[in-house]
Structure 1
């Protein structure tokens, strides 16, 4: 289940489920895009609990990054496991969307005015 329990200075921190795959990637993406439609221009994806991430999940993350880019926003990916960080680098995605070691490190980028109504 996708959880958005935390907001840090107007920036939603979305904790991804333990598995992000074909079964749930569309739903996770849609819920995150809902936050963007509500006016959020910055999101942090907390991947600390992710144990399985397939190509559908990776595509969803890339799509979210592009959607936020088109709204002059930013997506930050945090706490991805060592294994998936290696996959991320092998795919060349680290140049598109760097991985931060922790949620706090991702938040240290100082998102200003991340959500319109917060």
Structure 2
């Protein structure tokens, strides 16, 4: 299950589960789509816990990128381990959107390493 770590204005940081695969990629994707429907314009997926990601998970991330793009939003991925960072690069997905080494880097300079104004919010109702 997706865990919302931070929500501020139109930006959400959500942590992916340890496994994103055929069994849960559809649910995780639906949870992310709910965030977009509830006003998320910038979605940062924190992959720091991911230890298994199959093609279903990768397809879900690509689909989310398209959905956010259709809503004039942005998807950012952060904290892939070395293995999945290399897989991402080998698949050429880094040309679609790069993987940031940290959530802070994915959020960009606007956040200046400060947590002021950020709140941890529960996911939208119905989860």
TM-score scaled by length of structure 1: 0.89
CA distance in 2, matches of 1:66, 1:33: 11
State yes or no: 1:3 paired with 2:3: yes
Gaps of 5+ in 2: 112-127
What SS class does the counterpart of residue 87 from structure 1 fall into? helix
CA distance in 1, matches of 2:107, 2:36: 17
Shift of 1:2: 1.4
Residue in 2 aligned with 1:115? none
Give the structure with higher Rg (CA): 2
CA distance in 2, matches of 1:109, 1:26: 32
Residue in 2 aligned with 1:62? 62
Residue in 1 aligned with 2:18? 18
Q: 1:56-95 alignment to 2 at 5 Å?
A: 56-95=56-95
Shift of 1:5: 2.9
CA distance in 1, matches of 2:79, 2:30: 22
Residue in 2 aligned with 1:107? 107
Shift of 1:39: 1.4
Root-mean-square deviation (CA, aligned residues, Å) is: 1.5
Gaps of 5+ in 1: 112-118
Residue in 2 aligned with 1:114? none
CA distance in 2, matches of 1:106, 1:5: 14
Number of equivalenced pairs: 111
Shift of 1:109: 5.6
Change (3 A) 1:8 1:102: farther
CA distance in 1, matches of 2:13, 2:75: 10
Of 9-18 and 41-50, deviating more is 9-18
